[in-house]
């Protein structure tokens, strides 16, 4: 037995009906439902292509900002190596908060005072795996750093660390570090009962 099919179009969507049916018999509610579904599907498809183009800052501005952040990261490294409090003062925001690898919290004044005292001597800072992400006026930097040096007591602080810097662009359009946090990378081995899991 052979069947022939009727077809009609609603908002560009072809509807296939069984023999004896016609487009005019479709419920007006059903037709409105199909039209709404088609409109939503079209909007989603357009959004999928246009949102990535306009999300965040323009590409040229992002490239310029990335260059600035890379330079500031190099300046921060040099300030640590040379105990340069003047350079560090310029990099840190007034409300800066740092969390060291041992969990100590430092504000800007405390960080500058520690750097000025020169008790901790860092002889080498090798930074790699730098990733920079932008969120409008905020930049988040994550890095792997290999450190060689000693602390106030003269004990070794050498090792591998991961750190995060959070930059915010201030009202003058300058990037400032508002947050720092470091974590030491421990060698694989048995966990101690006091380790965080």
Domains and CATH numbers, the chain: 6-54 (no CATH), 59-184 (3.10.450.50)
Q: Is 179 helix (H, G, I), strand (E, B) or coil?
A: strand
Q: What is the DSSP string of 95-112?
A: EEEEE-TTS-EEEHHHHH
Q: Could you tell me which residues are beta bridge partners of residue 128? A: 144
| Model confidence pLDDT, tens digit, residues 156-190 | 778 999 999 999 999 889 999 999 999 999 876 55
Q: Note the pTM of the prediction, 2 decimals.
A: 0.64
Read off the pLDDT of each residue in 84-104 and give the average, rounded to a whole number.
95
Radius of gyration of the chain (CA): 30
Residue 62: burial class (beta carbons within 10 Å; 0-12, 13-18, 19+): middle
Alpha-carbon distance of 115 to 88, in angstroms, equals 9
């Amino acid at each position: 037995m052979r069947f022939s099919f009727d077809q009609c179009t609603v908002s560009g969507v072809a509807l296939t009906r069984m023999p004896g049916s016609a487009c005019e018999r479709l419920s007006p509610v059903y037709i409105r439902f199909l039209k709404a579904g088609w409109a939503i599907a079209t909007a989603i498809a357009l959004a999928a292509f246009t949102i990535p183009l306009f999300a965040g800052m323009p590409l040229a501005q992002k490239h310029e900002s990335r260059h600035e952040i890379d330079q500031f990261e190099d300046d921060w490294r040099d300030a640590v190596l040379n105990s340069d409090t003047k350079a560090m003062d310029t990099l840190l925001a007034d409300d800066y908060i740092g969390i060291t690898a041992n969990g100590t919290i430092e504000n800007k004044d405390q960080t500058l005072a520690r750097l000025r005292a020169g008790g901790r001597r860092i002889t080498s800072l090798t930074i790699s795996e730098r990733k920079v992400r932008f969120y409008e006026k905020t930049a988040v930097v994550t890095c792997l750093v290999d450190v060689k040096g000693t602390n106030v007591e003269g004990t070794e602080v050498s090792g591998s660390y991961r750190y995060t810097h959070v930059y915010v662009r201030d009202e003058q359009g300058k990037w400032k570090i508002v947050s720092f946090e470091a974590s030491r990378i421990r060698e694989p081995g048995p966990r101690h009962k006091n380790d965080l899991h």
